[in-house]
Amino acid sequence: MTSTTPIRWGILGPGSIAQAFAGGAAASRTGKLVAIGARNPAKPGLAESFPGARILDGYDALLADPDIDAVYISIPHPGHAQWAIRAAEAGKHVLCEKPLALTAFEADAMIHAARKAGTFLGEAFMYRLHPQTLKLVELIGSGVIGDVRMIKSSFGFAMPGFMPEHRLYANDLAGGGILDVGGYPVSMVRLIAGAAAGLPFAEPDKVVGAAHLGQSGVDEWASALLHFPGGIIAEVSCSISLNQDNVLRIFGTRGRIEVPDFWFAGGNRDVGLGQIDVIGSDGARETISVNEKRHVYSFEVDAAGEAILAGRQEFAWPGMGWADSLGTLRVLDRWRAAAGLEYGIEKAPRRTNTISGRPLRSGGTAIGKRTVPGLSKPASVVALGFEDFRTFSSGSILLDAFFEAGGNLFDTGYVYGGGYTEALLGEWLKNRGVRAQSVVIAKGAHSPLCYPDVIGKQLAQSLDRLQTDHVDVYFMHRDNPDVPVGEFVDAMDREVKAGRIRGPFGGSNWTMERMDEAIAYAERTGKQKPGALSNNFSLAEMLEPIWAGCVTSSSDEWKAWLRSRQMPNFAWSSQGRGFFTDRAGRDRHDNEELVRVWYSERNFGRRDRAIDLAARLGKSPIHIALAYVLNQPFPSIPLIGPRTLGELDDSLRALDITLSPADLEWLDGGSLRAA
């Protein structure tokens, strides 16, 4: 493509919004509509609605067409992530109708696919590219109404009545107002709050939402309050069964701004002249019009085209870039959670495929496997922790990606997420049918309930949540030195004999003295010996416990003990919780935890050497930190906790680093390393 060659667009899903986009493409400077992908290519009226475009049989045909550069996705919301990811894999640029995805987690997966493919991905909030938006931002920045204090924004309309067959009322199509039109006022107030602070957009620090869920379980009208740092409060509302005035109102210390029918610039899907009313504190009104007569959808077509031609992967501001789209969706996620709105298609029984719409694949080799003493099957060299997810649809994205890369070791705990982490893993293992291939770590008896009789009771609940009859590795989450160690060994040994623990057990955050005492007791009494540990271990030594009762095994004495015992250690916080990133530094003291837990000159020396080695290997210091844990002369299995697919891929970059004993000693500071 060159600057004089139009972007050849294909439309995936020929609905009414697609016809508006087609009009915009026809009026654009950079684009040309060449094809339509339709599930029913014989549907009457397609040729007339999209004159000059080839009608292709299905979405796959559109993505396979070599004469298409970019795809506009206008199918119902649940298909956005699947087809945007497949389009990126096919090398197609993507402009996707709002909402970009059902959740921020899905959107992140779409962004990840585009980033890897080197393709453009943009969210089609048409209003953001209309000149009226830039004019509004300029007015806010000029201080014409003083300091912004409150914003009120709505997008609501009333359908003729409850129509169960219509996508707006269909639970299976993620209907309702929040996802269909709620993103407009949310994205707008984030834009205005940002403009007031001199930023492209702002993120609220508080979100409180409510909604009325109708008979099909979708939100028919809903409202939310957003509070932004600096004190700006925004009221947003949306509806599909209630007419609202849809006037944007911005209140400042010296007046207010009102914009009627902002979303179409005061017009319709063809033309919106754009009108902004500025009302002073004395009531004087000034009406400003951008008097724009171009097709309202031509602006987003050209903004996408200009980005593609320039080699950019996201919209330039004031279009919605990736961080902006993610921020809006995070607010919608919180709004939906507050309203109790989760669609049936997001739950485990309906989420049987990966985010790309394909069945889960096994046999991946990006994550290798190793033999761990006491385990009957090989385990991946890293274990996945996933405490941050609270829905199946969000957590399954990361679980699927980890498994498809070759990972099969999963870290859970009785107290994690109030039990939801175990329940999520249990749903996923059953849904994907991979329990037999997986190695499950369970933890129980966290303080203050750290007693022998708690172990069996909590394990029974864990197994119920995990939907399995056994775990493969078990750790007591804390130790209670007031209880004789033999009582704990007896309790865990009973679970082994009952078949509910079928691998090694041991302690998380146990001292070496208690481990030695427990092993000696088991040897005397013929019980199964504790065969694994889960203590903090990293290149940086933990100076103070991160949380009460935590134990590090990174000292010289501990490393000698682990090596002599050949004790498997499942290491948590194996990458120093940000110490090996730019969040830390000798001149950085803004993060209390980093300073308190990791800051010492010896640790900074280790960090310096990790930075040096990373530069020579073309890696990042955090990769060196993870490789340090992986290459220990005893079984060392790091627990990693990526929150996104990008973070997971980044962690895997450490797996091909081989460190010799001399490298390990040099990183630790014991001797010089040859260049």
* Concatenated DSSP letters of 464-509: HHHTSS-BSEEEESS--TTS-HHHHHHHHHHHHHTTSB-S-EEEES
Contact 454, 474 (CB under 8 A): no
Read off the amino acid at residue 461: Q
Exposed/middle/buried for 451, CB within 10 Å: 0-12, 13-18, 19+? middle
Read off the amino acid at residue 197: A
- 592 Cβ contact partners less than 8 Å away, ≥ 6 residues apart: none
CB atoms within 10 A of CB 129: 26
CA 313 distance to own-chain centroid: 19
- 450 vs 485: CA distance, rounded Å: 12
Q: Residue 158 pairs with which residues in a beta bridge?
A: 241
Q: Is the bond into 448 cis (omega within 30 degrees of 0)?
A: yes
- 45 Cβ contact partners less than 8 Å away, ≥ 6 residues apart: none
- 455 vs 496: CA distance, rounded Å: 12
Left, alpha or beta for 603 (phi > 0: left; psi -120 to 50: alpha)?
alpha
Q: In this structure, what token pair is assigned to residue 427?
A: 């749903």
- 65 vs 353: CA distance, rounded Å: 25
43 catalytic? Reply is no
Phi, psi of 431, deg, nearest 5: -60, -40
Give me the numbers of helices (H) and strands (E) for the chain, helices first please: 21, 24
Residue of 32, 43, 92, 98 marked active site: 98
Distances (CA, A) of 424 to 71, 107, 444, 512, 639: 34, 20, 17, 33, 18
Pairing mode, strands 369-370 and 379-380 = antiparallel
The total number of residues shown for the chain amounts to: 675
Q: Could you write out the three-class secondary structure of 151-199?
A: EEEEEECECCCCCCCCHHHCHHHCCCHHHHHHHHHHHHHHHHHHHHCCC
- 66 vs 136: CA distance, rounded Å: 41
Residues tagged active-site: 98
